């Protein structure tokens, strides 16, 4: 296996992908232990799901013409926002642990593959992306890809899909799931 | 609410929906223009279609190999076209019920773009050097 892999010039890329797949599973495992299996998360989640469904039906089925209905919608909206804020607060703790793990793994990968092109890009990236894709690399060949860019691509694609697959993705019904809610132009 | 009351993990939720008001999830539904769609269900289906398209395009682009940033644009147009064609022509849903074209076309876009780039770069680097 090892000899087969070393036959490739860019076999390091497979190592980066493998490590980030393992990291993604590890992070989801940590998040599961710290939040997703707790009853407070489950109840918050069901509250949000219910409230967003209710809001949706209220908005589509009944025309919000009467004042009482508008008030009711407002109330549901506020409670929805409060619940999603609580949800993101409860995620903070595991978020910190996950960030620490990601940081350590990134440091490990950095020490393993520093200054080494791990892959060849089939395109020349725009200059903003080049900063990441050519990070720490010698030479002017912009199609050389550094570990950082590959790791970034892996972590986004694998983590998003893994979360989606396991059902841990943030609920759709809570548009302002962030800690700093922004006004949503669609609801107003 | 008509659904179950307690735990709401995805699988359980789907089972509850199967017992409840939403018709059971079948693959035949994916091509049925008469079927009624939940916002979450449609979002999930569109998300996974995009991921599959991204992965396949990435593998194909890398194997050929296609070189140049123009192929990213080709991928974006192709995958958005497939998504649009799927919900507008095959499912014939009214996009206004689901938050407009923007919401539907955005579903899973970034994840599929990164997945596509990853597959493209990996296959290209491993197969041609």
Question: What's chain A's Rg over C-alpha atoms?
Answer: 22
| A87 and chain B in contact, CB less than 8 A | no
| Burial class of residue A103 (count of CB atoms within 10 Å of its CB; 0-12, 13-18, 19+) | exposed
Per-residue pLDDT band for A43 (boundaries 50, 70, 90) equals confident
Summarize the confidence of residues A129-154 as an average pLDDT: 87
**Of A56 and A26, the one with more pLDDT:** A26
- pLDDT at res. B123: 92
ipTM: 0.76
In a domain, A175, yes or no: no
Q: Which chain A residue shows the shortest CA-CA distance from B72?
A: A123
Whether A54 maps to a domain, the answer reads yes
pLDDT of residue A173: 56
**Domain contains A182:** no
User: Both ends of chain A: CA-CA distance in Å?
Assistant: 58
Whether B95 contacts B105, CB under 8 Å: no
How much is the mean pLDDT over chain B?
79
Closest by Cβ to A156, choosing from B8, B99, B111: B111
Rounded-to-integer distance, Cα B90 and Cα B96, Å:
16
Of A51, A157, A175, which to mutate for an interface test with B (greatest number of B Cβ within 10 Å)?
A157
Mean pLDDT of A45-70: 76
pLDDT computed for residue A5 by the predictor:
62
Cβ-based contacts of A161 with chain B (< 8 Å): 51, 111, 115
State residue A65's pLDDT score.
Answer: 62
Domain around A50: 11-166
pLDDT of residue A39: 85
The pLDDT > 70 percentage for chain A reads: 83
> Can you tell me the mean pLDDT for B41-56?
91
Query: What is the reported pLDDT for A4?
Result: 60
Range of weakest confidence among A21-25, A175-179, B117-121: A175-179
Please check whether residue A183 lies inside any domain of the structure: no
pLDDT for position B68: 87
Nearest CA in chain A to B38: A53
B6-32 average pLDDT score: 53
* Residue A4 covered by a domain: no
Q: Residue B15 pLDDT more than 80?
A: no
User: Is residue A173 one of the residues assigned to a domain?
Assistant: no
Q: Decide: helix, strand or coil at residue A169.
A: coil
Q: How confident is the model at residue B13 (pLDDT cuts 50, 70, 90)?
A: very low
Q: Do A45 and B62 touch (CB under 8 A)?
A: no
Paired tokens of A83: 């619940």
A6 within some domain: no
Number of domains, chain A: 1
């Amino acid at each position: 296996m090892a000899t087969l892999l070393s036959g490739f010039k860019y076999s390091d890329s497979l190592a980066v992908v493998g490590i980030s797949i393992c990291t993604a599973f590890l992070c989801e495992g940590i998040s599961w232990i710290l939040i997703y299996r707790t009853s407070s998360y489950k109840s918050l989640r069901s509250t949000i799901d219910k409230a967003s469904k209710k809001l949706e039906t209220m908005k589509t089925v009944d025309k919000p013409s009467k004042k009482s209905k508008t008030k009711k919608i407002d109330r549901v909206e506020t409670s929805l926002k409060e619940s999603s804020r609580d949800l993101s607060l409860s995620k903070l703790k595991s978020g910190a642990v996950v960030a620490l793990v990601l940081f350590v793994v990134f440091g490990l990968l950095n020490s393993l593959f520093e200054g080494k092109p791990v892959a060849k890009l089939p395109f020349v990236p725009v200059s903003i992306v080049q900063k990441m894709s050519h990070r720490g690399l010698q030479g002017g060949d912009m199609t050389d890809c550094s570990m950082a860019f590959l790791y970034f691509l892996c972590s986004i694609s694998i983590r998003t899909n893994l979360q989606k697959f396991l059902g841990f993705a943030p609920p759709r019904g809570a548009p302002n799931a962030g800690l700093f809610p922004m006004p949503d132009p669609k609801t107003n | 609410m008509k659904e179950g009351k307690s735990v709401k993990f995805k699988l359980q939720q789907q089972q509850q929906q199967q017992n409840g008001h939403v018709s059971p999830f079948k693959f035949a539904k994916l091509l049925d223009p008469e079927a009624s769609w939940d916002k979450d269900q449609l979002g999930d289906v569109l998300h996974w279609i995009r991921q599959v398209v991204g992965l396949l395009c990435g593998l194909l682009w890398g194997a050929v190999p296609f070189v140049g940033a123009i192929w990213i644009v080709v991928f974006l147009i192709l995958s958005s076209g497939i998504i649009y064609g799927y919900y507008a022509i095959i499912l014939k849903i009214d996009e206004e019920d689901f938050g407009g074209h923007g919401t539907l076309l955005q579903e899973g876009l970034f994840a599929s773009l990164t997945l596509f780039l990853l597959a493209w770069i990996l296959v290209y680097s491993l197969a041609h050097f």
